[in-house]
Structure 1
Amino acid sequence: SRQGARGAGGMAALDEALAEIDRLAALPHVKGVGETGLDFFRTGPEGKEAQESSFRAHIEMAKRHGKALVIHDRDAHADVLRVLKEEGAPERTVFHCYSGDAEMAGVCARAGYFMSFAGNVTFKNAQNLRDAVAVAPAELLLVETDAPFLTPAPYRGRPNAPYLIPVTVRALAAVRGVDEDVLAAALAANTARAFGY
Protein backbone atom coordinates (compact mmCIF):
# COMPACT_ATOMS: atom_id res chain seq x y z
CA SER A 1 0.00 0.00 0.00
CA ARG A 2 1.05 3.62 -0.41
CA GLN A 3 0.78 4.10 3.33
CA GLY A 4 3.03 1.14 4.04
CA ALA A 5 5.65 2.46 1.64
CA ARG A 6 5.87 5.96 3.07
CA GLY A 7 4.17 5.91 6.44
CA ALA A 8 1.03 7.76 7.44
CA GLY A 9 2.84 11.12 7.72
CA GLY A 10 4.24 10.91 4.20
CA MET A 11 0.87 9.87 2.83
CA ALA A 12 -0.89 12.79 4.51
CA ALA A 13 1.72 15.26 3.25
CA LEU A 14 1.40 13.98 -0.32
CA ASP A 15 -2.38 14.10 -0.20
CA GLU A 16 -2.24 17.66 1.15
CA ALA A 17 0.17 18.74 -1.59
CA LEU A 18 -1.96 17.13 -4.30
CA ALA A 19 -5.08 18.86 -2.96
CA GLU A 20 -3.30 22.23 -3.20
CA ILE A 21 -2.13 21.48 -6.75
CA ASP A 22 -5.69 20.52 -7.67
CA ARG A 23 -6.97 23.83 -6.26
CA LEU A 24 -4.38 25.79 -8.24
CA ALA A 25 -4.99 23.80 -11.44
CA ALA A 26 -8.59 24.98 -11.43
CA LEU A 27 -7.53 28.63 -11.78
CA PRO A 28 -8.18 29.98 -15.28
CA HIS A 29 -4.74 31.58 -15.67
CA VAL A 30 -2.95 28.29 -14.90
CA LYS A 31 -2.06 26.69 -18.23
CA GLY A 32 -0.53 23.37 -17.19
CA VAL A 33 -0.10 20.76 -14.48
CA GLY A 34 3.50 19.84 -13.74
CA GLU A 35 6.19 19.39 -14.20
CA THR A 36 5.32 15.93 -12.99
CA GLY A 37 6.33 12.44 -13.89
CA LEU A 38 9.00 9.97 -12.94
CA ASP A 39 12.66 10.44 -12.06
CA PHE A 40 14.48 7.18 -11.38
CA PHE A 41 17.99 8.68 -11.35
CA ARG A 42 18.48 8.15 -7.60
CA THR A 43 15.24 6.48 -6.57
CA GLY A 44 14.60 3.21 -4.76
CA PRO A 45 11.49 1.01 -4.99
CA GLU A 46 9.49 2.94 -2.35
CA GLY A 47 10.24 6.24 -4.04
CA LYS A 48 9.21 4.83 -7.42
CA GLU A 49 5.85 3.77 -5.99
CA ALA A 50 5.25 7.21 -4.48
CA GLN A 51 6.24 8.97 -7.71
CA GLU A 52 3.95 6.81 -9.81
CA SER A 53 1.02 7.42 -7.49
CA SER A 54 1.62 11.18 -7.61
CA PHE A 55 2.06 11.11 -11.40
CA ARG A 56 -1.27 9.33 -11.83
CA ALA A 57 -2.97 11.97 -9.66
CA HIS A 58 -1.48 14.77 -11.76
CA ILE A 59 -2.67 13.13 -14.97
CA GLU A 60 -6.21 12.95 -13.58
CA MET A 61 -6.11 16.61 -12.55
CA ALA A 62 -4.83 17.79 -15.93
CA LYS A 63 -7.63 15.91 -17.70
CA ARG A 64 -10.34 17.08 -15.29
CA HIS A 65 -9.28 20.73 -15.52
CA GLY A 66 -8.49 20.65 -19.26
CA LYS A 67 -4.86 21.71 -18.71
CA ALA A 68 -1.66 20.66 -20.42
CA LEU A 69 0.32 17.97 -18.60
CA VAL A 70 4.03 18.85 -18.40
CA ILE A 71 6.14 15.74 -17.87
CA HIS A 72 9.51 15.31 -16.21
CA ASP A 73 11.06 12.03 -17.37
CA ARG A 74 14.51 11.02 -16.16
CA ASP A 75 15.71 7.46 -16.63
CA ALA A 76 12.06 6.36 -16.72
CA HIS A 77 10.95 6.45 -20.38
CA ALA A 78 9.18 3.08 -20.49
CA ASP A 79 7.40 3.64 -17.18
CA VAL A 80 6.27 7.17 -18.10
CA LEU A 81 4.83 5.92 -21.38
CA ARG A 82 3.20 2.96 -19.61
CA VAL A 83 1.47 5.15 -17.01
CA LEU A 84 0.26 7.58 -19.69
CA LYS A 85 -1.23 4.67 -21.64
CA GLU A 86 -2.82 3.12 -18.53
CA GLU A 87 -4.33 6.39 -17.31
CA GLY A 88 -5.12 7.88 -20.69
CA ALA A 89 -3.04 10.98 -21.37
CA PRO A 90 -4.57 14.46 -21.39
CA GLU A 91 -5.32 15.94 -24.79
CA ARG A 92 -2.25 18.18 -24.44
CA THR A 93 0.79 16.34 -23.08
CA VAL A 94 4.26 17.90 -23.12
CA PHE A 95 7.53 16.05 -22.55
CA HIS A 96 9.53 18.80 -20.82
CA CYS A 97 13.25 18.69 -21.60
CA TYR A 98 12.79 15.72 -23.91
CA SER A 99 15.47 13.11 -23.22
CA GLY A 100 14.41 10.12 -25.29
CA ASP A 101 15.73 8.83 -28.59
CA ALA A 102 14.25 8.66 -32.10
CA GLU A 103 12.31 5.49 -31.32
CA MET A 104 10.62 7.13 -28.35
CA ALA A 105 9.96 10.23 -30.46
CA GLY A 106 8.02 7.98 -32.82
CA VAL A 107 5.93 6.66 -29.92
CA CYS A 108 5.28 10.22 -28.72
CA ALA A 109 4.39 11.36 -32.24
CA ARG A 110 1.85 8.57 -32.71
CA ALA A 111 0.27 9.54 -29.37
CA GLY A 112 0.28 13.26 -30.24
CA TYR A 113 2.61 14.24 -27.37
CA PHE A 114 4.58 17.47 -27.66
CA MET A 115 8.36 17.14 -27.31
CA SER A 116 10.17 20.15 -25.85
CA PHE A 117 13.90 20.45 -26.47
CA ALA A 118 16.43 22.42 -24.43
CA GLY A 119 20.03 23.52 -24.96
CA ASN A 120 21.40 20.02 -24.41
CA VAL A 121 20.40 19.23 -28.00
CA THR A 122 23.60 21.15 -28.91
CA PHE A 123 25.89 18.97 -26.76
CA LYS A 124 28.38 16.79 -28.65
CA ASN A 125 27.23 13.64 -26.83
CA ALA A 126 23.52 14.26 -27.53
CA GLN A 127 23.12 12.59 -30.91
CA ASN A 128 20.08 10.73 -29.53
CA LEU A 129 18.33 14.08 -29.06
CA ARG A 130 19.22 15.30 -32.54
CA ASP A 131 17.93 12.00 -33.96
CA ALA A 132 14.66 12.58 -32.08
CA VAL A 133 14.42 16.15 -33.42
CA ALA A 134 14.90 14.82 -36.94
CA VAL A 135 11.94 12.42 -36.73
CA ALA A 136 9.54 14.39 -34.51
CA PRO A 137 6.66 15.99 -36.46
CA ALA A 138 7.14 19.75 -36.80
CA GLU A 139 3.70 20.34 -35.24
CA LEU A 140 4.78 18.59 -32.01
CA LEU A 141 8.10 20.39 -31.44
CA LEU A 142 8.62 22.88 -28.62
CA VAL A 143 11.70 24.68 -27.32
CA GLU A 144 12.66 25.73 -23.78
CA THR A 145 15.55 26.88 -21.64
CA ASP A 146 15.22 24.66 -18.54
CA ALA A 147 16.99 27.71 -17.03
CA PRO A 148 19.38 27.96 -15.36
CA PHE A 149 20.43 24.52 -16.64
CA LEU A 150 21.30 22.95 -20.02
CA THR A 151 22.88 26.05 -21.50
CA PRO A 152 23.46 25.48 -25.23
CA ALA A 153 26.93 25.24 -26.72
CA PRO A 154 29.04 27.29 -27.07
CA TYR A 155 27.81 28.98 -23.88
CA ARG A 156 27.97 25.95 -21.57
CA GLY A 157 29.23 26.88 -18.14
CA ARG A 158 27.06 30.00 -17.95
CA PRO A 159 23.57 30.00 -16.44
CA ASN A 160 20.96 29.40 -19.11
CA ALA A 161 18.37 32.10 -19.78
CA PRO A 162 15.70 32.96 -22.37
CA TYR A 163 18.09 35.10 -24.41
CA LEU A 164 19.82 31.86 -25.47
CA ILE A 165 16.67 30.28 -26.94
CA PRO A 166 17.69 31.40 -30.46
CA VAL A 167 20.85 29.28 -30.16
CA THR A 168 18.75 26.20 -29.44
CA VAL A 169 16.26 27.07 -32.20
CA ARG A 170 19.17 27.46 -34.64
CA ALA A 171 20.39 23.96 -33.69
CA LEU A 172 16.92 22.47 -34.13
CA ALA A 173 16.56 24.14 -37.53
CA ALA A 174 19.96 22.83 -38.64
CA VAL A 175 19.04 19.26 -37.69
CA ARG A 176 15.76 19.51 -39.59
CA GLY A 177 17.26 21.38 -42.56
CA VAL A 178 14.72 24.20 -42.35
CA ASP A 179 14.90 27.97 -42.15
CA GLU A 180 15.17 29.29 -38.59
CA ASP A 181 12.31 31.75 -39.09
CA VAL A 182 10.01 29.02 -40.39
CA LEU A 183 10.82 26.82 -37.42
CA ALA A 184 10.41 29.73 -34.97
CA ALA A 185 6.92 30.41 -36.34
CA ALA A 186 6.00 26.73 -35.97
CA LEU A 187 7.36 26.64 -32.41
CA ALA A 188 5.28 29.71 -31.49
CA ALA A 189 2.13 28.15 -32.93
CA ASN A 190 2.85 24.85 -31.19
CA THR A 191 3.33 26.59 -27.86
CA ALA A 192 -0.01 28.35 -28.23
CA ARG A 193 -1.72 25.03 -29.00
CA ALA A 194 0.05 23.12 -26.24
CA PHE A 195 -0.85 25.61 -23.53
CA GLY A 196 -4.19 26.84 -24.81
CA TYR A 197 -3.26 30.44 -25.60
Structure 2
Amino acid sequence: MSTRRDERPPVPEPLPVPAVDAHTHLDACGCETAADVHAMVDRAAAAGVTRVVTVADDLASARWVAEASTWDDRVLAAVALHPTRTKDFGEAERAELERLAGHPRVVAVGESGLDYYWDYAPHDAQQEAFRWHIDLAKRVGKPLMIHDRDAHEDILRILDEEGAPDTVVFHCFSGDAEFARRCVAAGYVLSFAGTVTFRNARALRAAALEVPADQLLVETDAPFLTPHPYRGRPNEPYCAAYTVRDLAALRGVDVADLASTSTATAERVFRLGQVPVP
Protein backbone atom coordinates (compact mmCIF):
# COMPACT_ATOMS: atom_id res chain seq x y z
CA MET A 1 0.00 0.00 0.00
CA SER A 2 2.81 2.46 0.82
CA THR A 3 4.33 1.91 -2.61
CA ARG A 4 0.96 2.48 -4.25
CA ARG A 5 0.50 5.74 -2.35
CA ASP A 6 3.81 6.93 -3.75
CA GLU A 7 2.64 6.33 -7.32
CA ARG A 8 1.06 9.02 -9.47
CA PRO A 9 -2.57 8.41 -10.42
CA PRO A 10 -3.10 7.20 -13.98
CA VAL A 11 -3.33 9.89 -16.63
CA PRO A 12 -7.04 10.00 -17.53
CA GLU A 13 -8.42 10.13 -21.04
CA PRO A 14 -8.24 13.66 -22.44
CA LEU A 15 -11.00 16.10 -21.71
CA PRO A 16 -13.20 16.89 -24.72
CA VAL A 17 -12.26 20.58 -24.42
CA PRO A 18 -8.89 21.92 -23.19
CA ALA A 19 -8.77 23.05 -19.56
CA VAL A 20 -6.45 25.25 -17.49
CA ASP A 21 -4.90 24.32 -14.15
CA ALA A 22 -5.33 27.71 -12.51
CA HIS A 23 -2.99 27.04 -9.56
CA THR A 24 -0.17 24.54 -9.24
CA HIS A 25 3.38 24.40 -7.86
CA LEU A 26 5.64 22.85 -10.49
CA ASP A 27 8.75 23.30 -8.36
CA ALA A 28 7.16 21.53 -5.39
CA CYS A 29 6.12 18.75 -7.79
CA GLY A 30 9.81 18.08 -8.38
CA CYS A 31 10.51 20.17 -11.45
CA GLU A 32 13.94 21.77 -11.55
CA THR A 33 14.91 22.03 -15.21
CA ALA A 34 13.21 22.99 -18.44
CA ALA A 35 13.13 19.29 -19.37
CA ASP A 36 11.27 18.52 -16.13
CA VAL A 37 8.72 21.23 -16.88
CA HIS A 38 8.18 20.05 -20.45
CA ALA A 39 7.61 16.46 -19.29
CA MET A 40 5.11 17.46 -16.60
CA VAL A 41 3.17 19.77 -18.89
CA ASP A 42 3.20 17.12 -21.61
CA ARG A 43 1.49 14.72 -19.19
CA ALA A 44 -1.06 17.42 -18.42
CA ALA A 45 -1.69 18.06 -22.12
CA ALA A 46 -2.28 14.33 -22.65
CA ALA A 47 -5.22 14.67 -20.24
CA GLY A 48 -6.51 17.84 -21.93
CA VAL A 49 -5.02 20.27 -19.39
CA THR A 50 -3.13 22.43 -21.84
CA ARG A 51 -2.01 25.39 -19.71
CA VAL A 52 -0.93 25.81 -16.08
CA VAL A 53 -0.31 28.69 -13.70
CA THR A 54 2.62 27.79 -11.45
CA VAL A 55 2.57 29.69 -8.19
CA ALA A 56 5.32 30.81 -5.81
CA ASP A 57 5.26 30.70 -2.03
CA ASP A 58 8.61 32.32 -1.20
CA LEU A 59 11.25 34.43 -2.92
CA ALA A 60 13.28 31.52 -4.26
CA SER A 61 10.13 30.01 -5.69
CA ALA A 62 9.09 33.38 -7.14
CA ARG A 63 12.37 33.62 -9.02
CA TRP A 64 11.98 30.06 -10.25
CA VAL A 65 8.36 30.30 -11.45
CA ALA A 66 9.07 33.52 -13.36
CA GLU A 67 12.00 31.83 -15.11
CA ALA A 68 10.11 28.58 -15.69
CA SER A 69 7.32 30.48 -17.43
CA THR A 70 9.83 31.31 -20.19
CA TRP A 71 10.73 27.65 -20.78
CA ASP A 72 7.34 26.51 -22.11
CA ASP A 73 4.55 28.61 -23.60
CA ARG A 74 1.98 26.48 -21.75
CA VAL A 75 3.29 27.71 -18.37
CA LEU A 76 2.31 30.99 -16.71
CA ALA A 77 3.41 32.22 -13.28
CA ALA A 78 2.18 33.97 -10.14
CA VAL A 79 4.44 35.49 -7.49
CA ALA A 80 3.96 36.50 -3.84
CA LEU A 81 5.00 35.59 -0.34
CA HIS A 82 2.80 32.92 1.23
CA PRO A 83 1.19 34.19 4.46
CA THR A 84 2.95 31.55 6.55
CA ARG A 85 6.29 33.04 5.42
CA THR A 86 5.58 36.67 6.34
CA LYS A 87 7.23 36.78 9.77
CA ASP A 88 10.21 38.59 8.24
CA PHE A 89 9.13 40.61 5.21
CA GLY A 90 11.36 43.61 4.68
CA GLU A 91 12.02 46.18 2.00
CA ALA A 92 14.47 44.03 0.05
CA GLU A 93 11.94 41.21 -0.26
CA ARG A 94 9.20 43.62 -1.28
CA ALA A 95 11.38 45.24 -3.93
CA GLU A 96 12.22 41.89 -5.48
CA LEU A 97 8.62 40.72 -5.50
CA GLU A 98 7.55 43.97 -7.12
CA ARG A 99 10.18 43.47 -9.82
CA LEU A 100 9.08 39.88 -10.44
CA ALA A 101 5.39 40.86 -10.47
CA GLY A 102 6.11 43.02 -13.49
CA HIS A 103 7.45 40.06 -15.49
CA PRO A 104 5.40 39.75 -18.70
CA ARG A 105 4.59 36.08 -18.10
CA VAL A 106 3.60 36.58 -14.45
CA VAL A 107 -0.18 36.73 -14.66
CA ALA A 108 -1.13 37.20 -11.00
CA VAL A 109 0.06 38.31 -7.59
CA GLY A 110 -0.25 35.26 -5.41
CA GLU A 111 -0.61 33.40 -3.36
CA SER A 112 -1.11 35.95 -0.62
CA GLY A 113 -3.64 36.14 2.16
CA LEU A 114 -4.08 34.77 5.67
CA ASP A 115 -3.46 31.37 7.22
CA TYR A 116 -4.70 30.97 10.78
CA TYR A 117 -4.30 27.18 10.78
CA TRP A 118 -0.50 27.26 11.13
CA ASP A 119 1.37 29.48 13.58
CA TYR A 120 4.48 30.17 11.46
CA ALA A 121 3.74 33.90 11.25
CA PRO A 122 1.85 36.22 13.63
CA HIS A 123 -1.56 37.33 12.45
CA ASP A 124 -0.57 40.99 12.44
CA ALA A 125 2.44 40.27 10.21
CA GLN A 126 0.25 38.28 7.83
CA GLN A 127 -2.34 41.03 7.66
CA GLU A 128 0.24 43.72 6.99
CA ALA A 129 1.79 41.63 4.20
CA PHE A 130 -1.65 40.90 2.76
CA ARG A 131 -2.41 44.61 2.59
CA TRP A 132 0.89 45.17 0.78
CA HIS A 133 0.11 42.45 -1.76
CA ILE A 134 -3.34 43.95 -2.38
CA ASP A 135 -1.66 47.26 -3.18
CA LEU A 136 0.92 45.53 -5.39
CA ALA A 137 -1.79 43.79 -7.41
CA LYS A 138 -3.50 47.11 -7.99
CA ARG A 139 -0.24 48.86 -8.95
CA VAL A 140 0.80 46.22 -11.49
CA GLY A 141 -2.76 45.72 -12.74
CA LYS A 142 -2.84 41.96 -12.21
CA PRO A 143 -5.26 39.65 -10.37
CA LEU A 144 -4.79 38.94 -6.69
CA MET A 145 -4.67 35.21 -5.89
CA ILE A 146 -5.75 34.62 -2.29
CA HIS A 147 -4.76 31.95 0.18
CA ASP A 148 -7.50 31.77 2.84
CA ARG A 149 -7.27 29.17 5.58
CA ASP A 150 -9.50 29.59 8.62
CA ALA A 151 -9.54 33.35 8.01
CA HIS A 152 -12.67 34.08 5.97
CA GLU A 153 -13.91 37.12 7.85
CA ASP A 154 -10.54 38.87 8.10
CA ILE A 155 -9.90 38.27 4.39
CA LEU A 156 -13.17 39.96 3.42
CA ARG A 157 -12.69 42.73 5.95
CA ILE A 158 -9.21 43.62 4.71
CA LEU A 159 -10.26 43.47 1.07
CA ASP A 160 -13.05 45.90 1.92
CA GLU A 161 -10.78 48.21 3.93
CA GLU A 162 -8.04 48.33 1.30
CA GLY A 163 -10.29 48.25 -1.75
CA ALA A 164 -10.05 45.01 -3.68
CA PRO A 165 -8.16 44.82 -6.99
CA ASP A 166 -10.29 44.56 -10.11
CA THR A 167 -9.90 40.77 -10.07
CA VAL A 168 -9.67 38.59 -6.96
CA VAL A 169 -9.29 34.81 -7.08
CA PHE A 170 -9.93 32.68 -4.00
CA HIS A 171 -7.46 29.86 -4.62
CA CYS A 172 -8.51 26.43 -3.31
CA PHE A 173 -11.81 27.85 -2.10
CA SER A 174 -12.58 26.40 1.32
CA GLY A 175 -15.77 28.08 2.45
CA ASP A 176 -19.36 26.91 2.69
CA ALA A 177 -22.31 27.86 0.49
CA GLU A 178 -23.07 31.04 2.44
CA PHE A 179 -19.48 32.26 2.16
CA ALA A 180 -19.46 31.37 -1.53
CA ARG A 181 -22.56 33.49 -2.08
CA ARG A 182 -20.88 36.45 -0.35
CA CYS A 183 -17.76 36.09 -2.49
CA VAL A 184 -19.78 35.75 -5.67
CA ALA A 185 -21.81 38.85 -4.80
CA ALA A 186 -18.54 40.79 -4.37
CA GLY A 187 -17.50 39.73 -7.88
CA TYR A 188 -14.71 37.42 -6.75
CA VAL A 189 -13.63 34.32 -8.66
CA LEU A 190 -13.63 30.98 -6.83
CA SER A 191 -11.09 28.31 -7.76
CA PHE A 192 -11.78 24.71 -6.77
CA ALA A 193 -9.07 22.12 -6.13
CA GLY A 194 -9.28 18.37 -5.59
CA THR A 195 -10.83 18.92 -2.16
CA VAL A 196 -14.18 19.59 -3.84
CA THR A 197 -14.19 15.96 -5.04
CA PHE A 198 -13.79 14.53 -1.53
CA ARG A 199 -16.97 12.72 -0.60
CA ASN A 200 -16.88 14.01 2.99
CA ALA A 201 -16.55 17.66 1.84
CA ARG A 202 -20.30 18.26 1.85
CA ALA A 203 -20.17 21.97 2.69
CA LEU A 204 -17.58 22.63 -0.01
CA ARG A 205 -19.50 20.63 -2.60
CA ALA A 206 -22.60 22.65 -1.72
CA ALA A 207 -20.55 25.83 -2.17
CA ALA A 208 -19.52 24.74 -5.68
CA LEU A 209 -23.19 24.78 -6.68
CA GLU A 210 -23.47 28.48 -5.81
CA VAL A 211 -20.82 29.75 -8.23
CA PRO A 212 -21.77 31.08 -11.68
CA ALA A 213 -19.81 29.50 -14.52
CA ASP A 214 -18.03 32.76 -15.28
CA GLN A 215 -16.70 32.99 -11.71
CA LEU A 216 -15.38 29.44 -11.43
CA LEU A 217 -11.87 28.10 -11.99
CA VAL A 218 -10.38 24.63 -11.59
CA GLU A 219 -6.95 23.98 -10.09
CA THR A 220 -4.83 21.21 -8.62
CA ASP A 221 -2.66 22.97 -6.01
CA ALA A 222 -0.28 20.12 -6.89
CA PRO A 223 1.53 18.35 -5.39
CA PHE A 224 -1.18 18.57 -2.72
CA LEU A 225 -4.90 17.72 -2.62
CA THR A 226 -5.06 14.95 -5.20
CA PRO A 227 -8.70 14.45 -6.24
CA HIS A 228 -10.90 11.47 -5.52
CA PRO A 229 -10.43 8.53 -6.00
CA TYR A 230 -6.66 9.04 -5.64
CA ARG A 231 -6.63 11.14 -2.48
CA GLY A 232 -3.29 10.89 -0.72
CA ARG A 233 -1.28 10.05 -3.84
CA PRO A 234 1.05 12.54 -5.59
CA ASN A 235 -0.78 15.27 -7.49
CA GLU A 236 0.17 16.83 -10.82
CA PRO A 237 -1.53 19.28 -13.21
CA TYR A 238 -3.04 16.46 -15.31
CA CYS A 239 -5.18 15.54 -12.30
CA ALA A 240 -7.23 18.71 -12.90
CA ALA A 241 -9.05 16.57 -15.46
CA TYR A 242 -10.46 14.43 -12.64
CA THR A 243 -11.73 17.54 -10.84
CA VAL A 244 -13.30 18.94 -14.01
CA ARG A 245 -15.24 15.72 -14.52
CA ASP A 246 -16.32 15.51 -10.88
CA LEU A 247 -17.43 19.16 -10.79
CA ALA A 248 -19.38 18.71 -14.00
CA ALA A 249 -21.25 15.75 -12.52
CA LEU A 250 -21.88 17.64 -9.28
CA ARG A 251 -23.23 20.69 -11.11
CA GLY A 252 -25.24 18.60 -13.58
CA VAL A 253 -23.53 19.96 -16.70
CA ASP A 254 -21.67 18.41 -19.58
CA VAL A 255 -17.93 17.93 -19.04
CA ALA A 256 -17.18 19.84 -22.24
CA ASP A 257 -19.29 22.76 -21.02
CA LEU A 258 -17.52 23.01 -17.67
CA ALA A 259 -14.08 22.69 -19.27
CA SER A 260 -14.99 25.34 -21.81
CA THR A 261 -16.45 27.84 -19.34
CA SER A 262 -13.65 27.42 -16.77
CA THR A 263 -11.07 27.87 -19.52
CA ALA A 264 -12.83 31.01 -20.73
CA THR A 265 -12.80 32.32 -17.16
CA ALA A 266 -9.08 31.59 -16.83
CA GLU A 267 -8.39 33.33 -20.12
CA ARG A 268 -10.30 36.40 -18.96
CA VAL A 269 -8.99 36.49 -15.39
CA PHE A 270 -5.34 36.01 -16.31
CA ARG A 271 -5.57 37.85 -19.65
CA LEU A 272 -3.92 34.90 -21.32
CA GLY A 273 -4.43 36.33 -24.78
CA GLN A 274 -2.15 39.25 -23.88
CA VAL A 275 0.74 37.20 -22.48
CA PRO A 276 3.76 37.27 -24.82
CA VAL A 277 5.05 33.94 -26.11
CA PRO A 278 8.54 33.17 -24.76
Q: What CA distance in whole angstroms lies between the structure 1 residues aligned with 2:89 and 2:147?
A: 21
CA contact under 8 A between 2:102 and 2:140: conserved in structure 1?
Answer: yes
> Partners in 2 of 1:133 and 1:104 — Cα distance?
11
Tell me the alpha carbon deviations over residues 79-108 of structure 1, each in whole angstroms, 9 at most, x when there is no partner.
111111111111111001110111111111
CA distance in 2, matches of 1:13, 1:189: 35
How big is the alpha-carbon RMSD for the aligned residues of Structure 1 and Structure 2?
1.6
Q: Report the equivalent of 1:70.
A: 145
1:134 to 188, 209, 216: 209
Match of 2:234 among 137, 159, 171: 159
Question: Does structure 1 residue 121 correspond to structure 2 residue 196?
Answer: yes
Q: 1:12 to 1:36 in 2, by over 3 A?
A: closer
Please state how far the C-alpha of 1:190 moved relative to its aligned partner. Answer: 0.4
- Specify the alignment match of 1:7 in structure 2: none
Q: What secondary structure, in the 3-state scheme, does the structure 2 residue paired with 1:135 have?
A: coil
Aligned amino acid, residue 263 of structure 2: A
Tell whether 2:104 aligns with 1:28.
Answer: yes
Deviation at 1:121, TM superposition (A): 0.7
**Which has more helix, going by share of residues?**
1
Distance 1:115 1:19 in 2: 29
Distance (Å, rounded) in 2 between the aligned partners of 1:35 and 1:12 = 17
Give the Cα–Cα distance (whole angstroms) in 1 for the partners of residues 213 and 204 of structure 2.
Answer: 15
For residues 207 and 216 of structure 2, the distance between their equivalents in structure 1, rounded to whole angstroms, comes to 10
CA distance in 2 between partners of 1:138 and 1:11 (Å): 37
How big is the shift at 1:14? 2.6
> How far, CA to CA, are the matches of 2:163 and 2:202 in structure 1?
30
Matched AA of 1:161: E
Local SS of the residue matching 1:43 = coil
Taking the aligned partners of 2:93 and 2:166, their CA distance within structure 1 comes to: 24
CA distance in 2, matches of 1:123, 1:12: 35
* Deviation, structure 1 residue 42: 2.4
TM-score (norm 2): 0.65
Report how far residue 12 of structure 1 moved: 7.1
Q: Name stretches of at least 5 consecutive residues in structure 2 with no aligned partner.
A: 1-85, 273-278
1:177 aligns with 2:252: yes
Shift of 1:23: 1.3
The equivalent position to 2:219 in structure 1, one of 141, 144, 150, is 144
Partner in structure 1 of residue 181 of structure 2? 106
**CA shift at 1:15, angstroms?**
2.6
Q: Of the candidates 75, 90, 113, which is equivalent to residue 14 of structure 1?
A: 90
The secondary structure found in structure 2 opposite 1:36 is strand
2:217 alignment partner, SS class: strand
Residue 79 to residue 11, structure 1, CA distance change in 2 (3 Å): closer
Deviation at 1:11, TM superposition (A): 8.1
Residue segments in structure 1 that go unaligned for 5+ positions in a row: 1-9
Number of equivalenced pairs = 187
Task: Give the aligned residue type for 1:111.
Answer: A
1:42 paired with 2:121, answer no
Distance 1:13 1:37, change over 3 A: closer
- In the superposition, the TM-score normalised over structure 1's length comes to 0.90
Give the Cα separation in 1 of the matches to 2:142 and 2:132.
Answer: 13
* 3-state DSSP of counterpart to 2:190: strand
Q: CA 1:78–1:161 in structure 2 vs 1: closer, same or farther (change >3 Å)? A: same
Following the alignment from structure 2 to structure 1, what is the Cα–Cα distance between the partners of residues 87 and 240?
39
Query: What is residue 271 of structure 2 aligned with on the other side?
Result: 196
Q: What code does the residue aligned with 2:240 have?
A: I
What residue identity is the alignment partner of 1:55?
F
